[in-house]
Amino acid sequence: MTGSTVVSGAAAASRSRRSRALGRLVFLGPGLAYLVAFLLIPLALVLGYTVFRRGRFGGVVYEVTGENFTRLLDPLYLEVVLGSLKLATIATVIALLAGYPTAYLIARLPRRWKTVALVAIVLPFWTNFLVRVYAWIVLLSGPGLLNGALEKIGLGPYELLYGQGAIVTGLVYSYLPLMVLPLYAAIERLDPQLREASANLGASPARTFFSVTLPLTRSGVVTGCLFVFVPSFGNFIVPELLGGGRSIMVGNLIRDQFLKARDWPFGSTLALALLAVLIVLLLLQAWSARRA
């Protein structure tokens, strides 16, 4: 009798385990299916293309080759990758320097004003990205608003549009909110008494910032930088519109390989290189988060 209860108990346990697994599948199913169909399969295709040759009139010839990777090291392309790295880094640093004080200030506002300020920060996301970048053309172009204003005070006109400066400006503008929000979250979490304790022990406000506030908000800094760097690095809309249409950044290069040169294998290889850089960054972030 005891034996039968044990057996039926085990059966019930395995049944409940199965029904729990089924339950999970129901919840995870839709998201999982979407990811497999629209992320994993295309990604696998892109990965696959990197080892094949391009067809003469576009398309892919299924003939294994390593030449896509050798081409990657061609200074012509390497320069574009490094250039993108540079522009994305500059944009990230500027966004950090501008975003930190903003986030700090918002975190110290009275509760009611905090909400207002946060809404203002995300407000730009309510309008179309393209429209917002176009607006910068109006601002920066030769006879644009900014040059008009400069001329009134006897300066310029300058060539503001179509250069690296314009691209960085556009990138910073586009992704600054993604810097401010994680910084805000980290600063808001910080116990204000820690700053007071630091002052009480004789630390000047600057010392307190570098010894207490900054180290304790590092997770926000890392996350914010990642949020700005990642979309900046692979961006092709901003350089296309504000950079003068040349293939200045990897994003444009990849786009051109697919759509203009019809060289899918090389485009895939470039995309893979981009992905590799970003994966390294994510690993660094995970490592830094684990240390904190």
Partner 1 sequence: MLQITGVSRRFGDVTALSDVSLEIRQGEFFALLGPSGCGKTTLLRILAGFESPDAGSVTLDGADLLGRPAHRRPVNLMFQSYALFPHMTVAKNVAYGLERERLPKAEVRTRVGEVLEKVGLTEAAGRRPHQLSGGQRQRVALARAIVKRPRLLLLDEPLSALDKQVRAEMQLELKRLQHEVGITFVVVTHDQEEAMSLADRIAVFNAGRVEQVDEPVALYERPRTPFVAGFVGAGNLFPGRACAVGLAADGLGVLPGASDLPDGTSALLAVRPERVRLAPETAEGAGTLRGEVADVSFYGGVSHVSVAVPGCERPVLVAVQGATRARPGTRVALSWAPEDGVLVPQ
Q: Binding-site residue total for partner 1 (CB under 8 A)?
A: 20
User: Encoding tokens for residue 235?
Assistant: 């961006």
DSSP symbols for 52-103: SEEPBTBSEE----SHHHHHHTSHHHHHHHHHHHHHHHHHHHHHHHHHHHHH
Q: How many residues does the chain have?
A: 292
- Output the CA torsion 156→157→162→166 (10° steps): 40
Q: Rounded to the nearest whole angstrom, what is the least distance from the CB of residue 218 to partner 1 in the complex? A: 9
Q: Which residues contact 49 (CB under 8 A, 6 or more apart)?
A: 60, 264, 265, 267, 268, 269
Least spacing, CB of residue 193 vs partner 1, in Å = 4
Q: Are 248 and 239 in contact (CB under 8 A)?
A: yes
Choice between 8 and 204, CB closer to partner 1: 204
Task: Give whole-number Cα distances, 8 to 1, 3, 170, 172, in Å.
Answer: 11, 9, 66, 64
| Shortest Å, Cβ 195 to partner 1 | 9
Q: Name which of 53 and 195 has its Cβ closer to partner 1.
A: 195
CA distance 93 to 86: 11
Question: Which lies closer to partner 1 via its Cβ, residue 93 or residue 203?
Answer: 203
State the binding string over 37-66 for partner 1 (x if CB under 8 A, else -): ------------------------------
Nearer to partner 1, 166 or 212 (CB): 212
For partner 1, the closer of residues 135 and 197 by Cβ is 197
- The distance of closest approach from Cβ of residue 34 to partner 1 in the complex, given in angstroms and rounded to an integer, is 40
Q: How many CB atoms lie within 10 A of CB 191?
A: 10
Closer to partner 1 by Cβ: residue 51 or 199: 199
Q: How far is the CB of 197 from partner 1 (least distance, A)?
A: 4
Q: Across-strand partners of 53?
A: 61
Alpha carbons 69 and 270: distance in angstroms, whole number? 9
Minimal distance, residue 216 CB to partner 1, in Å:
6
Question: What residues numbered 170-229 form the site for partner 1, per CB under 8 A?
Answer: 191, 193-194, 196-205, 207-208, 211-212, 215-216
Contact 235, 243 (CB under 8 A): no
User: Please, what is the minimum distance in Å from the beta carbon of residue 199 to partner 1?
Assistant: 4
User: Closer to partner 1 at the Cβ: 213 or 257?
Assistant: 213
236 DSSP assignment? -
x-or-dash string of contact with partner 1, 268-287, rule CB under 8 A: --------------------
Binding site for partner 1 (CB under 8 A): 191, 193-194, 196-205, 207-208, 211-212, 215-216, 292
